[in-house]
Amino acid sequence: MEINTTTYKRCDLITVTGRIDSATAPQLSDTLNALMEEGRFRFVLDLSGTTFLSSAGLRVLINTQKNCKRYNRGEVVLACVPPNIHAALDLSGFVPLFRFFNDVITAVGNI
Amino acid sequence: MEINTTTYKRCDLITVTGRIDSATAPQLSDTLNALMEEGRFRFVLDLSGTTFLSSAGLRVLINTQKNCKRYNRGEVVLACVPPNIHAALDLSGFVPLFRFFNDVITAVGNI
Amino acid sequence: MEISNSSTPPTTVTQVFPGRCSSLEKIAEFVRTAAQQAGLDDFATYQVETAVDEACSNIIEHAYQNTEGEIICTCREEIDRLIITLQDQGQPFDGSNIPEPDLCCDLESRSNHGLGLYFMRKWMDEVRFEYDPALGNKLTMIKRKEK
Amino acid sequence: MEISNSSTPPTTVTQVFPGRCSSLEKIAEFVRTAAQQAGLDDFATYQVETAVDEACSNIIEHAYQNTEGEIICTCREEIDRLIITLQDQGQPFDGSNIPEPDLCCDLESRSNHGLGLYFMRKWMDEVRFEYDPALGNKLTMIKRKEK
Ligand SMILES: Nc1ncnc2c1ncn2[C@@H]1O[C@H](COP(=O)(O)OP(=O)(O)O)[C@@H](O)[C@H]1O
Ligand SMILES: Nc1ncnc2c1ncn2[C@@H]1O[C@H](COP(=O)(O)OP(=O)(O)O)[C@@H](O)[C@H]1O
């Protein structure tokens, strides 16, 4: 898994490439926690290059979403979610808990 | 010239393809004025596909920038400006009057 | 160790992996190859990969509790199905009585646990837990081929 | 109407365009082709295209004041330069005494006019205005080839 972070005035764009499983989810969690400790709570997660997402990754997503939405201070939105991963999010009941965007620009523009 | 407008929560992305000259500048002006009348004052102009920009187009840019910046209500930023067009903006002394971004996402994220 | 017999079903391949998170990617590759060879489509393959990843993550985390141990993974293709078995020597476990998680829509009250078994059950056609004091845990998961 | 003679310099091509904004794109193509054939690089070609567009826009807007009229455009390639002339029958005009615009950096006080002649002067090596009561306005703009 590779994580790329781009910080904009408005939000952070987190691009995750490869697998998000029990081996790699802690790294994603660390990245997001470090940003939240700096007071950043608006995240666009670009999953276009994510090939796999297990419940370990789902746990990071839900924890981060809870933390961001608290005090109305931010939000995690998901961009470019591949069909397999969307199916996993759907089965987990996560679809109503996140906003989804088909491309990164729209996500960054609407967060 | 073709103009495509995408409205985001945060801003409008205006993609201009082709020539901005005395024949087509009024159309760009109309598009921007209509948006400003709806109270929208944050514009990302994606010039990646713009092949030509004359003083008629520069006039539209400066007028819109003046209007947007008034009362601190917004801004025009320029994205993906081709070298020839950047040279025209530079010669006109417009470079200090606009923020430039190399890609649309960064522009949308920072406006 | 990889054991494989003839190339028309039934076909059986077995591989042993160290029970560590760093094995998950290799286990996924092993299972994905077996699923593709069994003719499962991309989504069914992804479902199998997910179920196996969840099961192995649980073995590593809960059965072995992050101590040393092995996971023996066997993929058996039959004419109409792919049968995956995972064997470990960790703490005995029977997941059959664990209830489904509550997938309520309210963010704050959503638990961040319990999705692993849920994925296994929803995305495989059959999930069976067995324990034998000599052989340890044996989890069998079956995915039927599309008719 | 297009007149062209031999293909080694001097070469002269002339074309007549209706003095309307909708001609600007065709004029640009005509001039761009001549500039490319004269061996100007991409940026020099863009500079010529800009100067001609500005000059023609002024003819249409100011000389003809959006009434009917023609613009005769001639591109003459010499060994070391491209010479563009634009002729019109509109109101006589001599741009030589028009001062440079004030390119101050303050947005609010920036004028949105006066850039046309400025582009022509800055991006061409020579700009000359002539008026003849019989022939009308003749604007000559010269771009030297890179040595
Ligand atoms: N192989 C196993 N060995 C021991 N306990 C397990 C095993 N698999 C699952 N469990 C128990 O079942 C619970 C539910 O598992 P699961 O649905 O995968 O969710 P999670 O791992 O997120 O808690 C776990 O919290 C754990 O207590
Ligand atoms: N061909 C022309 N005929 C008559 N007046 C002209 C012509 N070209 C330019 N002018 C005058 O010179 C002024 C400056 O021209 P220019 O630098 O192109 O800027 P702009 O067209 O933006 O005013 C014009 O406003 C106009 O009054």
| pLDDT per residue as tens digits for the range D74-123 | 999 999 999 999 999 999 999 999 999 988 868 988 888 999 999 999 99
Q: Give partners of A (≥3 CB pairs < 8 A).
A: B, C
**CA proximity to D117, closest of D101, D136, D135, D140:** D101
CA D84 to CA D15: how far, in whole Å? 11
Examine the pLDDT at B16 and tell me if it is beyond 90.
yes
Residue C86 host element (H or E):
strand C81-88
3-class SS letters over D77-127: ECCCEEEEEEEECCCCCCHHHCCCCCCCCCCCCCCCCCHHHHHHHHHCCEE
Task: Give me the residue from A52, A58, A65 closest to C115, CB to CB.
Answer: A58
| Token pair of C15 as six digits | 């591989």
| pLDDT per residue as tens digits for the range B87-111 | 999 999 999 999 999 999 999 999 9
The pLDDT of residue D7: 65
pLDDT band at B64 (very low <50, low <70, confident <90, very high): very high
3-state secondary structure (DSSP) of residue D56: helix
The pLDDT of residue D143: 98
Q: Is the dihedral of CA B98, B104, B105, B106 positive or negative?
A: negative
Name which residue sits closest to atom 13 of ligand 2, judged by CA: D114
How far, in Å, from the CA of B48 to the mean position of ligand 2? 29
> Which residue in this structure is represented by tokens 């042993």?
C16
Q: How large is the ipTM?
A: 0.77
Nearest ligand to residue C55 Cα: 1
Q: How far is CA B50 from the centre of its chain?
A: 11
Nearest ligand to residue C51 Cα: 1
Mean pLDDT of chain D: 93
Task: Give me the residue from B54, B92, B96 closest to D53, CB to CB.
Answer: B54
* Percent of chain C clearing pLDDT 70 (strictly above): 94
CA A62 to CA B60: how far, in whole Å? 46
Examine the pLDDT at C136 and tell me if it is beyond 70.
yes
Across chain A, the runs of DSSP E, i.e. the strands, are: 2-7, 12-20, 42-46, 50-53, 75-79, 99-101
Query: Is the CB of A10 less than 8 angstroms away from the CB of B109?
Result: yes
CA distance A8 to chain B (A): 5
| pLDDT per residue as tens digits for the range A12-45 | 999 999 999 999 999 999 999 999 999 999 999 9
Q: Is the CB of B22 under 6 A from ligand 2?
A: no
Asked if D touches B (at least 3 Cβ pairs < 8 angstroms), the answer reads yes
- The residues pairing with A59 across neighbouring beta strands, listed in sequence order, are none
CA distance B14 to chain D (A): 21
D67-to-D16, D19, D20, D24, D46 alpha-carbon distances in Å: 16, 8, 8, 16, 28
The pLDDT of residue D146: 82
Q: Is the CB of D56 under 6 A from ligand 2?
A: no
Name which residue sits closest to atom 26 of ligand 2, judged by CA: D62
pLDDT band at A81 (very low <50, low <70, confident <90, very high): very high
| Token pair of D131 as six digits | 């008026």
Asked if C71 and C88 count as a contact pair (C-beta separation under 8 A), the reply is: yes
Asked if A14 and A31 count as a contact pair (C-beta separation under 8 A), the reply is: yes
Q: Is the CB of D95 under 6 A from ligand 2?
A: yes
Asked if C100 and C42 count as a contact pair (C-beta separation under 8 A), the reply is: no
CA D128 to CA D147: how far, in whole Å? 23
CA C51 to CA C44: how far, in whole Å? 11
The pLDDT of residue A18: 98
| Closest atom of ligand 1 to CA, residue C115 | 17
The pLDDT of residue B52: 98
Query: Is the CB of B52 less than 8 angstroms away from the CB of D43?
Result: no
| Token pair of B12 as six digits | 């409008």
The pLDDT of residue B103: 95
- Residue range B48-70: average pLDDT? 97
CA D118 to CA D100: how far, in whole Å? 6
Name which residue sits closest to atom 13 of ligand 1, judged by CA: C114
CA distance B108 to chain A (A): 6
The pLDDT of residue D72: 98
> Residues lining ligand 1, CB < 6 A?
A 55; C 54, 58-59, 62-63, 91, 93, 95, 98, 113-118
Quick count: other Cβ atoms within 10 Å of Cβ B15?
Answer: 19
Asked if D142 and D47 count as a contact pair (C-beta separation under 8 A), the reply is: no
| pLDDT per residue as tens digits for the range D17-64 | 999 999 999 999 999 999 999 999 999 999 999 999 999 999 999 999
The pLDDT of residue D3: 52
Mean pLDDT of chain B: 97
Residue of A nearest to B42 (CA): A109
Q: Is the CB of D113 under 6 A from ligand 2?
A: yes
The pLDDT of residue D147: 59
Return left, alpha or beta for B67; rule: phi > 0 is left, psi -120 to 50 is alpha, else beta: alpha
How far, in Å, from the CA of D114 to the mean position of ligand 2? 7
| pLDDT per residue as tens digits for the range A51-73 | 999 999 999 999 999 999 999 99
| pLDDT per residue as tens digits for the range C106-115 | 898 888 899 9
Examine the pLDDT at D9 and tell me if it is beyond 90.
no
Residue of B nearest to D19 (CA): B23
